[in-house]
Amino acid sequence: MTSENPDDRWPTRRTDDVLSETIDALSASADDALTKAAGEGLPDPAAAIAWVERARRLVLMQRDISALRSEIPALAQRLHEILGTLTLPDGIRADGVVDAFLPRLPAIRSMLAGDTEAAFEGDPASRSFGEIVVSYPSLKALSTYRIAHELTGLGVPILPRMMSEHAHSGTGIDIHPGARIGHRLFIDHGTGIVIGETCEIGDNVRIYQGVTLGATSPRRGQSLRGVKRHPTIGDDVTIYANVTVLGGDTVIGRGSVIGGNVWLTESVPPESVVIADPLKQLVRQRKGSADSDPLQLKWDI
């Protein structure tokens, strides 16, 4: 067994100098994006996630009056503390946001009750409302969205996006909190769904996995801020899997059905059915022994 070389130990004789130089460099004033981000206020991610999960549980599950009387003030106080870590826009105060947000909780609950009913009625695999509330990724994403959307409308920066990205990471459903979504949305399966900031979705809409409701000009970046760049989906529309609908001028008319794998950048009249022209697939009988020969397929594409 060899003894440790004193020169190989840490901290070394130069450690104080190295630490000082590193700290001075990291703390030096700079005009880069990360310095600007710090100036905007950065809520603790764990605190933001804990708050939105607490809010979700309250609107989805809590009905006991005594519990609500203790939980709502605690939820409000925690929101006030998180808002205190942000640089709010001029004219917006943390106490004003909290006072305006609390009365919106019953409306959020009502919207989520409709989303839950739509999931139960639209999915023959569902066994109960309770199953949907505790296990469906669509309701987790929608409940987070509906809370975040209200905060966005009150002018709160950063926090709503943190909330939506938390739901996105856990469900694969990416809903921007600025999107406008009507009553009774059912997202079946959900993985890979993207709903952009200026998207508008009507009532009684059903969306399957892999759907993108996006923009057509992402390269133009900040020049498109505030411009309607995502599609409008009318009432009673069904959009099947892996559909892409792009553009702020694109409107899917009421009652339309968009079949799987469709790509749309133009509007569709009400009561339309849109299907992709499928590739031609030829399935041929296997030759020889079923146990020994590989499947022989020829594709005519």
In order of their start, the domains of the chain are 39-173 (1.10.3130.10), 179-276 (2.160.10.10)
Model confidence pLDDT, tens digit, residues 271-288: 999 999 877 878 888 776
Model confidence pLDDT, tens digit, residues 246-273: 999 999 999 999 999 999 999 999 999 9
* Per-residue model confidence (pLDDT) at position 297: 46
Residue 58 has pLDDT above 80, yes or no: yes
- For the entire predicted model, the pTM comes to 0.87
Find the angle CA(135)-CA(138)-CA(142) to the nearest 5 degrees.
Answer: 115
Q: Which helix (H) or strand (E) holds 195?
A: strand 193-195
* Per-residue model confidence (pLDDT) at position 59: 97
DSSP 10-74: SS-TTHHHHHHHHHHHHHS---SHHHHHHHH----HHHHHHHHHHHHHHHHH---HHHHHHHHHH
User: CA-to-CA distance for 224 and 250, rounded, in angstroms?
Assistant: 16
Residues sharing a CB contact under 8 Å with residue 248, sequence separation 6 or more, in sequence order? 198, 215, 227, 228, 229, 230, 231
DSSP 59-115: HHH---HHHHHHHHHHHHHHHHHHHTTS-PPTT--HHHHHHHHGGGHHHHHHHHHHH
Going across the sheet that includes 244-246, the strands are 173-175, 193-195, 212-214, 244-246, 263-264
* Per-residue model confidence (pLDDT) at position 289: 52
* Per-residue model confidence (pLDDT) at position 280: 80
Model confidence pLDDT, tens digit, residues 142-167: 999 999 999 999 999 999 999 999 99
pLDDT band of 7, cuts 50, 70, 90: low
Is residue 121 classed as helix, strand or coil in its secondary structure?
helix
Across the range 48-77, mean pLDDT stands at 97
Q: How far apart are the first and last CA of the chain?
A: 69
Residue with the two structure tokens 């459903």: 173
Going across the sheet that includes 257-258, the strands are 186-187, 206-207, 238-239, 257-258, 273-274
User: CA-to-CA distance for 151 and 156, rounded, in angstroms?
Assistant: 6
Model confidence pLDDT, tens digit, residues 81-118: 999 999 999 999 999 999 999 999 999 999 999 999 99
- In 10 A of CB 209, how many CB atoms? 17
